């Protein structure tokens, strides 16, 4: 151990000394060399004299992470053991069983098996509790722990023991790992007679080809006359794929995005390289707060080029570009190297990290945002704060009782129970929860805990605290008690009051037990306000064209 520590120290010291020499040779500030030497000296003293035995690698890793974390949220160190997760983010591929997992009390459960992959082939179901992995208890393990055990090289086996609701004895399953390739387009289809729909969940390798192929299928097999491209909740990914997704709808040689770095010679202009799939089809792009980075490039370019209408809520506001660099020992550093600019000239970065990163940094206020113009129709668009939709349609805000039922996993668990009692289910568009089913759900809740505090109750609590602090409580005590009794929530009444939204979530969860992710999405689209608005606009050519001219 001592020998390894000395070797590691020598390597670190040599690397730091080399960096100091290079820095001085390049004429950088004396402070760089001085502080690198200080770091090496401090580490040497700690390693030699600290009262307890140190873990040098762990200590240095913390230093690296703290250094990078002070710059912005996106600059990070990718260690050798983290390379699998990094590759999955960029390629959508990993070796494993193909299942989404989640924490449930002391165990990890299957949240959803992916169709066509080992978990699905082995008959695993949502709600299955993983009680053993390779003979070791699953109790107390986190989703991260279990994920590492389930992942592995393709064509290797992993043995798990599960418990399933409605089945008396635990079941042992031997699963052969495969290369799992998650689809960037988990669902595409028709949402009306003439309107096609494509959901793109991330920008991984070749996702642009998936979008192009799905568009061709919708046009050939279903005669789609217009399209909704759904980027809600899409956190981004590869810049090259964002450019190629735009290229599906925009002609060759169009400027899509430009990047600017601290050195002018590093600046780049990116143009579409290929012939577009369709430059004329009327297009609506859906975005929300979860749409970031590459999603904002696609939606922003469609806006700037007057190529489509953007509907939803303002996007995240990430206008920074990250580049990965090899740093040795099968590791990489992902660092912010540039800002990107849309065709109108705007950068939509919402937070300025030039002075360093901390949790108190705020977004640029709307009053300080600068206006730009779209290229053809000169519509007004803004920088610094994300992409503003052409038409704002807010997502559904759930009631306190519904949010509690979801967070306590009661909706998930009821769907698991429903699946144990019903071997089949109608197609997503045909399935509706009956009053009998809903009443059964209410009975299922029974004495289960799902309490919550309404906004009115919270305001009264705050008022009581303020009144007590300011010595007014005695005077208004009686009035407060009257108000509290009047607004005290009744869970049974709330179950009835918010029955419709609870039923919608129950239907989505139950459908996913039989028709998996595609079924869930199809069920969700039935009552999606943004999709409904998009269909309305795309079904009215004059309204669509008028919006593009505004």
Alpha carbons 292 and 387: distance in angstroms, whole number: 9
Q: What is the pLDDT of residue 488?
A: 72
Q: What is the pLDDT of residue 114?
A: 95
Mean pLDDT of 201-228: 97
Catalytic hit among 304, 383, 504, 528 = 304
Alpha carbons 310 and 179: distance in angstroms, whole number: 36
Whether 480 and 462 have beta carbons less than 8 Å apart is answered as: no
Strands 76-78 and 331-341, sheet pairing: antiparallel
Whether 229 and 285 have beta carbons less than 8 Å apart is answered as: yes
Catalytic hit among 129, 318, 518, 533 = 318
Q: What is the pLDDT of residue 490?
A: 81
Q: What percent of the chain has pLDDT over 90?
A: 78
28 falls in which pLDDT band (50, 70, 90)? low
Active site residue 304: yes
Q: What is the pLDDT of residue 24?
A: 45
What are the tens digits of pLDDT across the range 3-15?
455 545 545 555 5
Catalytic hit among 258, 293, 344, 512 = 293
235 falls in which pLDDT band (50, 70, 90)? very high
What are the tens digits of pLDDT across the range 171-190?
999 999 999 998 999 999 99
Mean pLDDT of 321-334: 94
Q: What percent of the chain has pLDDT over 70?
A: 95
**Sign, CA torsion 54/57/63/69:** negative
pTM, full prediction = 0.88
pLDDT tops 90 at residue 84: no
How does 65-84 read in b/e, with b if 16+ C-beta sit within 10 Å?
eeebeeebebbbbbbeeeeb
Tokens representing residue 359 in the block:
């949790």
Q: What is the pLDDT of residue 5?
A: 52
23 falls in which pLDDT band (50, 70, 90)? very low
What are the tens digits of pLDDT across the range 93-131?
999 999 999 999 999 999 999 999 999 999 999 999 999
As a three-state string, the secondary structure of 274-312 is CCCCCCCCCEEEEECCCCCCHHHHHHHHHHHCCCCEEEE
Q: Which residues contact 56 (CB under 8 A, 6 or more apart)?
A: 5, 8, 9, 12, 43, 47
Alpha carbons 231 and 453: distance in angstroms, whole number: 33
Three-state secondary-structure class, residue 500 = helix
């Amino acid at each position: 151990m001592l020998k390894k520590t000395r070797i590691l120290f020598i390597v670190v010291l040599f690397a730091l000394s080399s960096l100091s020499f290079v820095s001085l040779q390049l004429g950088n500030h004396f402070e760089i060399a001085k502080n690198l030497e200080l770091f090496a000296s401090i580490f040497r003293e700690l390693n030699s004299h600290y009262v307890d035995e140190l873990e040098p690698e762990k200590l240095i890793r913390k230093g690296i992470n703290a250094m990078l974390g002070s710059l912005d949220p996106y600059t990070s160190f990718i260690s050798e053991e983290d390379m699998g997760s990094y590759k999955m983010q960029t390629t959508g591929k990993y070796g494993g069983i193909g299942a989404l997992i989640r924490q449930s009390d002391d165990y990890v459960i299957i949240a959803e098996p992916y169709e066509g992959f080992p978990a699905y082939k082995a008959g695993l179901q949502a709600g299955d509790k993983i009680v053993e992995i390779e003979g070791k208890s699953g109790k107390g393990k986190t989703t991260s722990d279990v994920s590492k055990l389930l992942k592995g090289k393709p064509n290797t086996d992993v043995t798990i023991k599960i418990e399933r609701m409605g089945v008396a004895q635990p079941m042992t399953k031997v699963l052969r790992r495969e290369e799992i390739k998650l689809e960037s387009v988990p669902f595409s289809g028709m949402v009306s007679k003439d309107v096609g729909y494509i959901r793109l969940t991330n920008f991984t390798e070749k996702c642009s080809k998936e979008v192009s192929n799905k568009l061709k299928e919708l046009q050939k097999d279903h005669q789609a006359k217009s399209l909704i491209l759904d980027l809600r909740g899409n956190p981004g990914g590869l810049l090259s794929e964002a450019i190629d997704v735009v290229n599906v709808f925009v002609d060759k040689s169009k400027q899509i995005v430009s990047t600017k770095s601290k050195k002018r010679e590093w600046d780049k202009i990116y143009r579409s390289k290929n012939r577009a799939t369709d430059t004329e089809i009327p297009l609506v792009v859906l975005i929300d707060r979860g749409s970031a980075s590459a999603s904002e490039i696609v939606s922003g370019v469609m806006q700037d080029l007057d190529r489509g209408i953007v509907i939803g809520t303002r996007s995240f506001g990430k206008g920074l570009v990250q580049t990965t660099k090899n740093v040795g020992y099968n590791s990489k550093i992902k660092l912010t190297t540039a800002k990107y600019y849309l065709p109108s000239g705007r950068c939509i970065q919402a937070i300025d990290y030039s002075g360093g990163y901390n949790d108190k940094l705020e977004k640029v206020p709307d009053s300080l945002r600068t206006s730009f113009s779209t290229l053809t129709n000169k519509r007004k668009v803004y920088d610094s704060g994300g992409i503003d939709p052409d038409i704002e349609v807010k997502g559904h805000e759930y009631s306190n009782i519904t949010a509690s039922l979801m967070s306590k996993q009661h909706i998930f668990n009821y769907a698991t129970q429903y699946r144990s009692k019903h071997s089949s289910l109608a197609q997503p568009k045909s399935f509706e929860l009956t009053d009998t089913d809903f009443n059964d759900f209410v009975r299922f809740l029974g004495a289960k805990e799902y309490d919550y505090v309404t906004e009115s109750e919270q305001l009264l609590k705050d008022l009581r605290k303020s009144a007590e602090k300011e010595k007014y409580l005695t005077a208004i005590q009686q009035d407060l008690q009257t108000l509290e009794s009047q607004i005290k929530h009744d869970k049974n009444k709330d179950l009835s009051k918010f029955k419709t939204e609870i039923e919608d979530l129950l239907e989505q969860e139950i459908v996913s037990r039989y028709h998996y992710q595609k079924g869930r999405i199809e069920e969700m689209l039935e009552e999606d306000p943004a999709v409904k608005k998009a269909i309305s606009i795309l079904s009215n050519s004059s309204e669509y064209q008028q919006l593009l001219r505004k």
